[in-house]
Structure 1
Amino acid sequence: MTLIYGHRGARGEAPENTLASFQHCLAQGVTRCELDLHLSADGELMVIHDPTLKRTTGQRGKVAEHSAAELERLDARAAGPAWPWPCPIPRLRSLFLHCPFEHWQLEVKSASPARAARTVDAIATLVAEFGLEDRVIVTSSSRSVLLALRRRAPQLARGLVAEHAWLDPLKVAARHDCRMLVLNWTLCSPARLLKAQRQGLHVSVWTVNEPALMRRLADCGVDSLITDFPGLASAILRDR
């Protein structure tokens, strides 16, 4: 059975990476999500895709230059879709408190070794506090992040995010003892999928928004789809 992960919550129907987006995902019966993390200036894990604020809030500056309290006062609706109420940038802690997902893909973007270490330590501490070790996988395309995960938080499952084919993603995933391969759907050929699954990898494919593509990838046997429209994907796969 192909599983469904809501991409940044339900990005196609609510402002991405906001509490409203994740609650919208859950309301449609999808209990797995993917999200992005950056550290605030005071070391809090904030749920936002970009390292800068402009695209989602319309404000200037970097996430890392602001405290968590300052970031929570910003409205993250600027990238759409339209939403009637303000949507602050949430802390990961707030989502763990208010969103009962059965599984979380936590993506960490590229970072220096020092920042990767701080981010991994913060994730490990928060996941342990909530007892979510078996319900979380930390994913990244960054060698620094994957190395920090292996060395500093080996108890957390790791996943490789692969967007380009210039490196063999299966070899990179094996090198870092990853359990999941998060593939851009354009890289998900039947041969690569089969080889990855034989290697013991869960193959999660993004971003899959078209019904025909959802059906085709599910028929190929991908383990999970990451989609901006989790309700639609659930209906499509349920009716196959």
Structure 2
Amino acid sequence: MFTKQPTQIIAHRGSKGTRPENTLLAFQAALDAGADGIETDVQLSADQQLVIMHDERVDRTTNGEGFIKDLTLAQLKRLDAGSRFSPDYAGTQIPTLDEVIQLLIADNFTGVFNLELKTNKIHYPGIEQRLAAYFERQPVPFRLVFSSFRAKSILTLRTLYPQAEYAKLFKTAGRQAKLMQRRHQVGGLHPDIHWVKAHRFWLPHAQLRPWTVNSEADMTYCLRHHFAGLITDYPARAVALRTKIQGGVPSWKKS
């Protein structure tokens, strides 16, 4: 038996390494792989709908062009979000936040749902209020964790929806993240794995969920340090490696 909690395996944009990222297919694949959590990104369409996509533009992952903020939900739904990954997934749509939430509820998911507010480049005025209103209307049976690179988004949403958990994303700005943690403005820290390895003497003082942990060496590093979690494009690989190193199974899964 462990004296420490097993490291949570958080699927980055779903099973991004094996399915078109941030699609219902990717999230279902992550759940099927036994991931403890899902990490994804939320933005606002031109008609103020909460949509799931990482980039501010649709160009990289779909057959369309332009900024999400300039396209309506109907226009976004007409785009093909699967073919760029593989022709096998042609016709896959960009999901809304509600579609993802309903998928998780239907799967009886009780793990971690980490929703990143993509407000560090485009601030999306009102997105925090819309998220708070949505989750007030829609209770969820899983742990809800909001994260962002933009501190103001975290602080605004935390005031509106204090019952969720909050985490600070960062690539190099460790001081700001640590200050927010000391002030109890966030509970968790989500640093770049490269930053973590460069600041290893800081590790005993924080609960970390590094991103994006894809190599076996990086996964092993996180698992042997018993980090709170790791965020990966390959949840199936990470789950298998965790079993080998730590044992245990995802707690939300029904036996």
Query: Is TM > 0.5 for Structure 1 vs Structure 2?
Result: yes
Structure 2 residue aligned with 1:199: none
Structure 1 residue aligned with 2:139: 131
Residue-by-residue CA offset, 1:92-121 (whole Å, 9 max, x unaligned): 1001111243220000123589735x1112
- Equivalenced residues, count: 234
Unaligned runs of 5+ in 2: 1-5, 246-255
Shift of 1:239: 1.2
User: Which range moved further: 221-230 or 210-219?
Assistant: 210-219
Of residues 162, 176, 191 in structure 2, which corresponds to 1:154?
162
Structure 1 residue aligned with 2:116: 107
| Separation (CA, whole Å) in 2 of partners of 1:168 and 1:65 | 32
Unaligned runs of 5+ in 1: 197-201
Residue pair 1:133, 1:156 contacting (<8 A) in 2 also:
no
Of residues 206, 211, 236 in structure 2, which corresponds to 1:206?
211
| Separation (CA, whole Å) in 2 of partners of 1:217 and 1:209 | 11
Q: Which amino acid aligns with 2:118?
A: K
Of residues 46, 53, 59 in structure 2, which corresponds to 1:54?
59
| Separation (CA, whole Å) in 2 of partners of 1:153 and 1:173 | 18
Residue pair 1:124, 1:156 contacting (<8 A) in 2 also:
no
Shift of 1:204: 0.6
Residue pair 2:62, 2:81 contacting (<8 A) in 1 also:
yes
Which has a greater percent of helix? 1
Q: What is the TM-score when the length of structure 1 is the normalising length?
A: 0.89
Question: Secondary structure of the equivalent of 1:158?
Answer: strand
Residue pair 2:58, 2:67 contacting (<8 A) in 1 also:
yes
Shift of 1:139: 0.1
Residue pair 1:8, 1:228 contacting (<8 A) in 2 also:
yes
Residue pair 1:15, 1:82 contacting (<8 A) in 2 also:
no
| Separation (CA, whole Å) in 1 of partners of 2:202 and 2:137 | 37
Summarize the Cα distance change of 1:149–1:232 in structure 2 as closer, same or farther, 3 Å threshold. same
Residue pair 1:204, 1:225 contacting (<8 A) in 2 also:
yes
| Separation (CA, whole Å) in 1 of partners of 2:89 and 2:211 | 28
Shift of 1:168: 4.6
Shift of 1:66: 1.5
Q: What is the TM-score when the length of structure 2 is the normalising length?
A: 0.84
Summarize the Cα distance change of 1:186–1:112 in structure 2 as closer, same or farther, 3 Å threshold. closer
| Separation (CA, whole Å) in 1 of partners of 2:184 and 2:45 | 27
User: Which range moved further: 226-235 or 152-161?
Assistant: 152-161
| Separation (CA, whole Å) in 1 of partners of 2:144 and 2:122 | 22
Shift of 1:51: 0.9
